[in-house]
Structure 1
Amino acid sequence: MQSLSATLLLGFTLACSLFSSGVMTQTLDSTFDQFATIYQQELGTTQGCDEPRLLEFAVCSSALRNDGNAPYILHHGKPTAKVIVLFHGLSDSPFFLRSIAEAFHAEGHNVVVALLPGHGLVDADADMQDPELANRWRKRVSEISELATSLGDNKYIGGFSTGGALATEYVLMHPAEYKGLLLFSGALRLDPTVETLANVWGMRWVAKLMDGDYQTDGRNPVKYPKVSTYAALQLVDVISSVREKIEQKVGLNIPIFVAHSQADLTTMIQGVQDLMAYNQGRNHFFEIPLNKNVCHADLVISESQLQDMHYDMNNLAEVEPCSVPQANPLHTAMLAAAISYLKEY
């Protein structure tokens, strides 16, 4: 009888465990369905990825250059105490946030890495000339923010370059929604010449002429060969929006983590410094010295990520500074600082 009782008890416990697991999976399945629907509507079709990964839900598509450009959710099969939402930069893809996302996931957090409209595509010409592109980016940030609520109790938002600018703008508009902001090479200030030209009448028409038939295929399978001039002007609109909100004294009292290189000539370090000076919350600044020569896009790249990128080095002519991807020599220390920040808040 004792043996039968023990067997029945074990069976009951297992059934409860499976039921609980099933309910939790169904909860995440609904979130995964929402995530897939967002991209089905944009890409037209989605499909299984060539190499599915454990504890990852990715949305692959024939409309994307390859699976490395796909958006993904790194999860733990259930909602976690903290969920981090990340957005990539202009002309690149969710791949660039892979090492950061995996580090946060290893700490027990669910992580969402979105794909911004116009990116990762086989054909991006129409998107990169869309006057509503910046608003489409903003809509994506809003959609993913809403979706992330079901993945964790406390939400954190951030991004690389343009993704950081969009995350900052969203936080300024919804200060109570997120517990923290993480910026990696945050694009909050560009070269003064670029910002000035963005406000010149007729410049957007000129930008479309300069871009011509926008090409997406190049040496880097997870990044377009060049930044669309027209899309860059759309980024200036986002940066201007951030500045306007700061000038209007829109309140910001949130812990911020910033990683930026003094050698960054694409996004000026003064932009993130101005944001931190305005913020009433605590700032955590991982500043990479000038002598490390870390270029803008290289800040988020680890050694293993550089290998996985499969950048085509064949028949390279004279190489201009920052034109070929390199790993950030302080990448490990940067991640440790970001993880420490998340533990504190």
Structure 2
Amino acid sequence: MSSKFFVKMLIGIVALLGVNMAIAANLSIPDTSEMKSRSFSDLQNQFKAFYEKEWGQTQPCRETALNRFSVCSNVLRNEGNSPFMLTNKSSSKVAVLIHGLSDSPFFMREIANILFEQGFTVVVPLLPGHGKRDADDDMSDWDLAERWQSHVDEVIKLADSMGDTLLVGGFSTGGALAVEHYLDSAGNEVNNIDGLMLFSGALALSDNAESMSRIWGIKLLARIIDGTYQTHGPNPYKYPNVAGLAGLELMDLINIIRDKVEEGQQIEVPLFAAHSQADVTTPIRGIEQLMDASKGPNTFFVIDESYGLCHADLVVNTSLLNKMNFNASMVNQQEECAVPKANPLFSTMGLMLRDYLSQFE
């Protein structure tokens, strides 16, 4: 069963997803049964240990907030790029939200707040290679997608130890990573995911991008063209460009999902998806195809093309936009989607998300 909401939005190209790349180290995580009894302090320390191993060092965050635990480091551009947890100690419900390619956890803040208000502890990791002052080595790593997957696996395992209900989701590439993890662990006794949430889920790319990804040797060419990767730009919480190699790694991930669906695998948990029809970076057809492979119940919030909502703006509300401190003078403001804008239907999308979450009470 699917509740579709068609809302208007006018054409938009997008700056591309958001995900990163830096960890590769496999940290030893105790069995879930052992971890259920551990304190939130222990679990926060385990979360912190992921990044101590990844970055080499962490430091106390200057900005603090009630119920919020962040992991900060000098290797990051600023504290807004830090991975974080919103701790709801009175609840046994947990959600993992994964950011997109070139993005950071900053962009998941407002979605995380909705989940927290609905009684969830929320875990928002920082994908390998993202949020850093220097990400050149990460963005040229041939094993980038595998590193993303490995980090997502360990974070989800940790999150599962925090409660009895587990939702996993993300924005753009983060959504694709959530789906891939679910399908990869389907039928596995450790697959405890109770629901999936996709925001501009990257389950398809533009026709041009997909065609180019099939050219022999394209990854080597992309790596050469990428050159030295620039991490600083007009947005303090997002890289100015998506590395070509990273985009091709995302295409590999999408193909893995397609292969699993073609083999007959299905989504067997409640699915929430929000997507703009004007999204040309991750066309809505990818989500529609996944819906066909979902047993439901499905909640599909569709923003009409006439609104012109850009890919990256779906998870942005006025509050997040005001905190972004985007330097518009550094971009061509006449270019489509160059300057971030608030999703005019964010509140309505939030109501639909809350309705979806109510089934887990």
Normalising by structure 1, we get a TM-score of 0.90
Bigger relative CO (Cα 8 Å, ≥ 6 apart): 2
Matched positions, count: 321
**Aligned-residue offset at 1:26:** 6.3
Whole-Å Cα distance in 2 between the matches of residues 215 and 229 of structure 1? 12
Whole-Å Cα distance in 2 between the matches of residues 173 and 316 of structure 1? 40
- What SS class does the counterpart of residue 164 from structure 1 fall into? helix
Aligned match for 1:38, one of 33, 50, 53: 50
CA contact (8 A) 1:93 1:119 kept: yes
Whole-Å Cα distance in 1 between the matches of residues 42 and 179 of structure 2? 28
Whole-Å Cα distance in 1 between the matches of residues 334 and 293 of structure 2? 39
Matched, 1:223 2:235: no
What do you get for the CA RMSD once the two structures are aligned? 1.4
**Aligned-residue offset at 1:25:** 11
**Aligned-residue offset at 1:124:** 0.4
Q: Which has the higher helix share?
A: 1
Which residue number in structure 2 is paired with residue 11 of structure 1? Answer: none
Structure 1 stretch 331-340 or stretch 172-181: which is displaced more? 172-181
Aligned match for 1:334, one of 346, 349, 352: 349
Matched, 1:246 2:256: no
Which residue number in structure 1 is paired with residue 120 of structure 2? Answer: 109
Whole-Å Cα distance in 2 between the matches of residues 276 and 293 of structure 1? 23
- What SS class does the counterpart of residue 126 from structure 1 fall into? helix
Unaligned runs of 5+ in 1: 1-23
Which residue number in structure 2 is paired with residue 51 of structure 1? Answer: 63
Which residue number in structure 1 is paired with residue 148 of structure 2? Answer: 137
Whole-Å Cα distance in 1 between the matches of residues 96 and 38 of structure 2? 21
- What SS class does the counterpart of residue 319 from structure 2 fall into? helix
Whole-Å Cα distance in 2 between the matches of residues 305 and 282 of structure 1? 30
CA contact (8 A) 1:171 1:177 kept: no
**Aligned-residue offset at 1:315:** 5.8
Which residue number in structure 2 is paired with residue 205 of structure 1? Answer: 220
Matched, 1:174 2:185: yes
Matched, 1:284 2:299: yes
Q: 1:167 to 1:317 in 2, by over 3 A?
A: closer
Deviations 1:150-176 (Å, cap 9, x if unpaired)? Answer: 222110000000000000011112234
**Aligned-residue offset at 1:198:** 1.3
**Aligned-residue offset at 1:281:** 2.1
Deviations 1:288-325 (Å, cap 9, x if unpaired)? Answer: 11111110000000100001011012365443111111
Counterpart residue type for residue 103 of structure 1 = I
What percentage of residue pairs aligned between the two structures are identical?
A: 46
Deviations 1:128-157 (Å, cap 9, x if unpaired)? Answer: 010111000000110111100222211000
Structure 1 stretch 191-200 or stretch 179-188: which is displaced more? 191-200
- After superposition, residues 160-199 of structure 1 pair within 5 angstroms as 160-175=171-186, 176-199=191-214
